[in-house]
Amino acid sequence: MRTLILGNRVIGDGFPAYVVAEIGINHNGSLDIAKRLIDAAANARCDAVKFQKRTPELCVPPHQRDQRRSTPWGEMSYLEYRRRMEFGIEEYEQLAEHCRSRSIDWFTSCWDESAVDFIEYFDPIGYKIPSAALTDVGLLRRFRQTGRPLILSTGMSTMCQIEAAVGLLGTDNLLITHATSTYPCPLAELNLRMIQTIRGRFDCAVGYSGHEVGLATTLAAVCLGASLIERHITLDRAMWGTDQAASVEPRGLERLVQYIRDVESAMGDGVKTVYESERAVMSKLRRTDQLIAHPDQLMMTSPHAVN
């Protein structure tokens, strides 16, 4: 079966979609905002929240470190800005406790090997491998060494690159998410049929990480077979930050989760059934009890019969 166990949940075909609220860096370095985003995800009945963890000295290229940037804390170097955005041990301990108090899972995407070592301290339920790291062989090997469930995001990648990464990671403990790494992403570039392409190519669960504006296309991803859904969340799309515009606000998040559950309920099993609720209508409108004995026979019905 195409399944992955993440925390106490089984993710995959035949199971409810696992909904991840991607907090990422939309907390803008504020522990209070991060906790409020956890609350928003829990109130919306998401299954998990996700953060991003980086070691700035490793992730910021040398030629970018001294570049000046306007930030909520004033103008500073890009390296200093990246440091301001990172939470340490004490902050993550508080975030982990807040998630426990709200009965919601949490995990992170790690952008370097030291970040993986940092998050290992918290015994995470799994890891998200960001699209930017799909070709980082050393980091992929470090992820696999943890032995934990892995979610591989595939934005900015060719199919050959995805195949190489999956070959290194294996499929036994893997879920692959289709993604397009544009924030926000134009609808014409979402390419949702890639969900089916990935399902046909790899023997593992498949998900969708969306960066579009709106909710309808995320529902389409569920209909196409995505068993994990991830959307960025924010308190206000007008807030400072590069990911805010492609994020979903709390009320929208509540609607999205409810819509996903409604769609799952409506999908059914594909077996044609005469439901008990139809029988009263059938007894009133159906004009014949004659059965079709052969495929080329026509059923004798009234022109007013309901299909």
Domain of residue 215, CATH code: 3.20.20.70
Is residue 198 scored above 80 in pLDDT? yes
Q: Report pLDDT for 306.
A: 46
Q: Report pLDDT for 289.
A: 59
Percent of the chain at pLDDT exceeding 90: 88
Q: Report pLDDT for 300.
A: 45
Residues 116-171: tens digit of each pLDDT? 999 999 999 999 999 999 999 999 999 999 999 999 999 999 999 999 999 999 99
* 106: number of Cβ within 10 Å: 24
Task: Give 2 or 46, the one with higher predicted confidence.
Answer: 46
Is residue 8 scored above 50 in pLDDT? yes
The C-alpha atoms of residue 269 and residue 215 are separated, in whole angstroms, by 24
| Mean pLDDT value across residues 75-97 | 96
Query: Residue 104: which pLDDT band, with cuts at 50, 70 and 90?
Result: very high
3-state SS class at 166: helix
* Locus of tokens 């000295």: 57
Domain count, the chain: 1
Residue 136 lies in a domain: yes
Residue 272 lies in a domain: no
- For 217-248, letters b (16+ CB in 10 Å) and e give ebbbbbebbbbbbbbbbbbebebebebbebbb
**pTM for this model (two decimals):** 0.91
3-state SS class at 232: strand
Residue 273 lies in a domain: no
Task: Give 181 or 288, the one with higher predicted confidence.
Answer: 181
Residue 213 lies in a domain: yes
Residue 168 lies in a domain: yes
149 CB-near residues (< 8 Å, 6+ apart):
4, 5, 6, 125, 126, 127, 173, 174, 175
Percent of the chain at pLDDT exceeding 70: 93
The C-alpha atoms of residue 31 and residue 176 are separated, in whole angstroms, by 30
Residue 86 lies in a domain: yes
Q: Report pLDDT for 227.
A: 98
Is residue 2 scored above 90 in pLDDT? no
Helix (H) or strand (E) holding 69: strand 68-71
Residues 229-246: tens digit of each pLDDT? 999 999 999 998 889 999
Task: Give 202 or 299, the one with higher predicted confidence.
Answer: 202
3-state SS class at 21: strand
Is residue 43 scored above 80 in pLDDT? yes
3-state SS class at 279: helix
The C-alpha atoms of residue 71 and residue 77 are separated, in whole angstroms, by 10
Residue 189 lies in a domain: yes
* 86: number of Cβ within 10 Å: 18
Query: Residue 305: which pLDDT band, with cuts at 50, 70 and 90?
Result: very low
Domain around 132: 3-267
Asked whether the CA dihedral 128, 23, 246, 65 is positive or negative, the reply is: negative
How would you classify residue 24: left for phi > 0, otherwise alpha for psi between -120 and 50, otherwise beta?
A: left
The C-alpha atoms of residue 152 and residue 128 are separated, in whole angstroms, by 6
Q: Report pLDDT for 287.
A: 82
Q: Report pLDDT for 76.
A: 94
Residue 305 lies in a domain: no
Residues 252-302: tens digit of each pLDDT? 999 999 999 999 999 999 999 999 999 999 889 988 756 665 555 544 444
